Chain A
Amino acid sequence: MLLFIGWRNIWRNPIRSALTIGALAGGLVMVILYSAIMEGLSRQMVQFATEISTGHIQLHRQAFIDDQDLYATMPWSYMEKIEHAFSAIHIAPRLYAAGLASSADHSTGVLIKAVDPKRETAVTRMLRHVRFGELDLGVADTTESGLTRYNLVIGAQLAKNMKVAPGGELVLVTQAADGSIGNALYRIAAVLKPLEPNFDRMGVLMSIEAYQQLMYVENGFHELAIKVDDTDGIASVQSRLDGMLKGLQTTQPLDELGGAPVVRNWRQLTPAIADMLEMSGTIILIIGVIVISLASMGMLNTMLMAVHERTHEFGILLSIGMKRRWLLLMVLFESFFLALVAALAGSLIGSVISVYFEEHGIDFSGYMPDGYDWAGIVFEPVMKGYLDPVHVVNASILMIIITMIASLIPAWRVVRLKPAEVIR
């Protein structure tokens, strides 16, 4: 009975109630949209952080982490053993070096990165990130003097700075592992889209075979990127790998200068991203409380007005014996229905818009064709939302709780009415 009266009371002034519901629903839509965008960003972040070049887990030696020590390699047998020991992972070995790249008119310092194309493709999307040209890391041709030219792939900004394009020639000069001056000619096969800011500016990618001929680093690799098929299993793979490496070190000791092997997951490799993800939940909650509190001010105003208009009516009800707590309950029900209708409308509209964002995204490629980099990770220029139903339910509950708290003020006024005064 009280429920029914409460419901009917809302519609005694339909325009005012509709406006209130609109304000509350609008607030809710904002919160749902915001959390969908944040969730989408977080998911994109994890995806870009891991799929493009990092992988889920990486293995290095301490001296390589500290100062990119060329000699801090792990033997190839380590890689084979790891490959055999785990079933549901993919691994990709990598080698690095610093060098000087020269085109016809330009010279600049570069970071040489060597990968195994077959393995790399199973772990990251790096090699599929081609902007111009065709990805090929094999032998390009042989010069008249009998020199083999390998293909290589370079970063977009580097290609721009050096004014080179696919098909062009690049000279690399570096100090090889034996102290000699490593130098060779290469053909640029492709230009990659931005992977990470450093690679974009100074990255040169070649096959491990080409690297070995330039650098004379033959007995191992610097980095092992690992993709775990089931992402929930990252932690267990990491700890198993840790244990396995300790065992390998006793049977196949490493030289002392390079330091111990270190296994790190993507959260440890890109701490800025991991911190951001931790924080985003709290940020959504704070923003939600602020937005909904503002919207519930509207509801507070509506209810105060409604109660004020009906003081006479309440007075009569009280004098004919209506219990005060019933009145309190009736006012609360009115607020509750307002909130409920707003929650239903808000979640519906919010979800529809979020699903639209999930499918279409917000496209910035018009003015940011290369995407943007943030915290050392390059994002694609299309921002995609992700609607998590749990977020919608949470936001609705949050809204109802806040509005109910706000409605205690008008309800309390009703309770404090003195019937003798208001009827007069």
Chain B
Amino acid sequence: MFFRAVSLSVFVVMLTPFAYAIEVDELIHHIDRLWRGDTSQAMMTMTVKTQRYERAMSMEAWSRGKDYSLVVIREPVKDRGIATLKADENIWNYLPKINRVTKVPSSMMSGSWMGSHFTNDDLVKESTFEDDFDATITFEGERDGQAVYELTFLPRPDAPVVWGKVVMMIEQKSLAPYKSLYYDEEGLLVRTMTFDQFQKIDDRTIPMRLTLQPEDKPEESTMIVYQNIAFGVPLEETFFSLQTLKQRR
């Protein structure tokens, strides 16, 4: 779901909050489930700031595993009911005004998702992030005034990805990420995601606010704030279907 899209991976179930030497695989596997769990339901607000306008949308989102997610826009009225369904590698949008479902073609994957700085690809690629990237802990110790792990993700040779490198900083004590840096293939920083407003839900420390900052447009950004997240919500696979997409207005 979108939370994942956003995190692109980071997360860890907490073993003990104290400094065990943690295994990379363990770290990745758990980081992966931070905003998602097995199933989840969340309310969030996305604020997109561009040179020309600032726009807030509130949305409701559901997810099941890494392959299924559904987001429905609640506010503003103009866009109410517009929904995005992600199932495996496919994305569909439902447009209530014209009552049509459109599939996002692969050529449009790098296009903006709902006018934000996230791309459709961010939604799709997060489910294959573990398969596409190799991770290593490249730093462990004191940084930014706290004990952190620095995870570096490098794409596997044949992986169809846009990033040349992704670096994620995780606070050791809570095992919550606080910053991700995305580099292109030339090694230039393309965008930065910062995480804050940590909250403890079901034993995990979850950042409730994500801010995506594109490097080439310093005056623009997209911010997502979670009002609430519930995990372990009963949601069947059939919930993530084109029928639900149309009904969930």
In whole angstroms, what is the CA distance A75 to B48 when docked?
Answer: 27
Taken together as a complex, chains A and B put the C-alpha atoms of A145 and B78 apart, in Å, by 16
Q: Which residue of B lies closest to A106 (CB)?
A: B105
- Among residues of A, the one whose C-beta sits closest to the C-beta of B108 is A109
Q: Which residues of B contact A331 (CB under 8 A)?
A: none
Q: Are B95 and A179 in contact (CB under 8 A)?
A: no
CB-based nearest A residue for B93:
A173
What residues of A have a CB within 8 angstroms of the CB of B99 in the complex?
Answer: 145
A179 touching B100 in the complex, CB below 8 Å, given contacts A108-B105, A109-B108, A171-B95: no
The docked-state distance in angstroms from the alpha carbon of A252 to that of B95 is 39
Contacts of A5 in B (CB 8 A): none
Measured between beta carbons, the chain A residues less than 8 angstroms from B55 are 178-180
CA distance A329 to B102 in the complex (A): 86
Name the CB-closest residue of A to B78. A180
* Residue A249, interface by CB 8 Å: no
Q: Are B104 and A100 in contact (CB under 8 A)?
A: yes
Chain B residue at minimal CB-CB distance from A149: B98
B52 and chain A: residue at smallest CB distance: A71
Judged by a CB distance under 8 angstroms, whether A181 is at the interface is yes
Which of B109-117, B145-153, B171-179 is found at the contact surface with chain A? B109-117
Chain A hits for B103, CB < 8 A: 102, 107
A185 interfacial contact with B, CB 8 Å:
yes
Residue of B nearest to A185 (CB): B98
Q: Chain B: which residue is nearest A105 at the CB level?
A: B103
Docked Cα-Cα span, A106 to B103, in Å, equals 8
Task: Given A173-B93, A179-B115, decide whether A108 and B107 contact each other with a Cβ distance below 8 A.
Answer: yes
A175: which of B95, B104, B112 is its contact (CB, 8 Å)? B112
Contact residues in B for A279 (Cβ distance below 8 Å): none
Q: Are B102 and A102 in contact (CB under 8 A)?
A: yes
Contact A179 B53 (CB under 8 A): yes
Interface check B79, CB cutoff 8 A: yes
**Of A147, A177, A183, A184, which is in contact with the most chain B CB atoms at under 10 Å from its CB?**
A183
CB distance from B64 to the nearest CB of A (A): 25
Nearest A residue to B55, CB-CB: A179
Is A257 among interface residues, defined by CB-CB distance under 8 A? yes
Q: Does B200 interact with chain A (Cβ within 8 Å)? A: no
**Residues of the A chain whose Cβ atoms lie less than 8 Å from the Cβ of B70:** none
Q: Are A100 and B95 in contact (CB under 8 A)?
A: no
| CB-based nearest A residue for B49 | A179
Q: Once the chains are docked, how many angstroms separate the CA of A20 from the CA of B14?
A: 99
Interface centre among A106, A147, A180, A185, by most B CB within 10 Å?
Answer: A180
What does the 1/0 interface line of A171-199 toward B look like (CB < 8 Å)?
Answer: 10101011111011100000000000000
Report chain A residues within 8 Å CB of B95: 171, 173, 181, 183
Known: A109-B111, A175-B115. A183 touches B98 (CB 8 A): yes
Best-surrounded residue of B98, B108, B112 (most CB of chain A within 10 A)? B98
Q: In the complex, which residues of chain B have a beta carbon less than 8 angstroms from the beta carbon of A184?
A: 97-98
How far, in Å, is B53 (CB) from chain A's closest CB? 5
Q: Complex Cα distance A147/B98, Å?
A: 8
Expressed in whole angstroms, the Cα–Cα distance for A108 and B107 within the complex equals 7
Q: Mark A67-107, 1 if CB is under 8 A from B, else 0.
A: 00001000000000000000000000000000010100011
Task: Tell me the dominant secondary structure on chain A's binding face.
Answer: strand
A298 to B63, CA, bound (A): 86
B243 within 8 A of A: no
Report the bound CA distance from A71 to B50 in whole Å: 12
CA distance A180 to B76 in the complex (A): 9
**Chain A contacts of B100 at CB under 8 A?**
102, 171, 183, 185
Tell me which residues across on chain B come within 8 A of A100, comparing CB atoms: 102, 104-105, 108, 111
A173 touches B102 (CB 8 A): yes
Smallest CB separation, A394 vs chain B (Å): 52
- Expressed in whole angstroms, the Cα–Cα distance for A106 and B112 within the complex equals 20
Q: How far is the CB of A411 from chain B (nearest CB, A)?
A: 70
- How distant is the Cα of A358 from the Cα of B28 in the complex, in angstroms? 73
CA distance in complex: A257, B52 (Å)? 9
B79 to chain A, nearest CB (A): 5
The answer on a CB contact under 8 Å between B98 and A178 is no
Report yes or no: A171 in contact with B53, Cβ–Cβ below 8 A: no
Closest chain-B Cβ to A218's Cβ sits at a distance in Å of 14
Cross-interface CB contact of B79 among A171, A180, A257, cutoff 8 Å: A180
- A147 in contact with B97 (CB, 8 Å): yes
Query: With the chains together, A138 CA to B112 CA distance in Å?
Result: 30
Contacting residues, chain B, for A178 (C-beta < 8 A) = 53, 55
- A181 touching B105, Cβ below 8 Å: no
Question: Which residues does chain B contribute within 8 Å of A109, judged by CB atoms?
Answer: 105, 107-108, 111
B52 surroundings in chain A (CB, below 8 A): 71, 177, 257
Smallest Cβ-Cβ distance to A183: which chain B residue:
B95
Tell me, in angstroms, the Cα distance from A147 to B102 when the chains sit together.
18
17 further interface pairs, Cβ-Cβ under 8 Å (given A108-B108, A181-B114): A71-B52, A100-B102, A107-B105, A109-B108, A173-B93, A173-B95, A173-B102, A175-B115, A178-B55, A180-B115, A181-B79, A183-B97, A183-B98, A184-B97, A185-B98, A185-B100, A257-B52
Query: Which residue numbers of A lie inside 8 Å of B, CB to CB?
Result: 71, 100, 102, 106-109, 145, 147, 171, 173, 175, 177-181, 183-185, 257
| 30 A-B contact pairs sorted by A residue (CB < 8 Å) | A71-B52, A100-B102, A100-B104, A100-B105, A100-B111, A102-B102, A102-B103, A106-B105, A107-B102, A107-B104, A107-B105, A107-B108, A108-B108, A109-B107, A109-B108, A145-B99, A171-B98, A175-B115, A177-B52, A178-B53, A179-B48, A180-B55, A180-B76, A180-B79, A181-B82, A181-B95, A181-B114, A185-B100, A257-B51, A257-B52
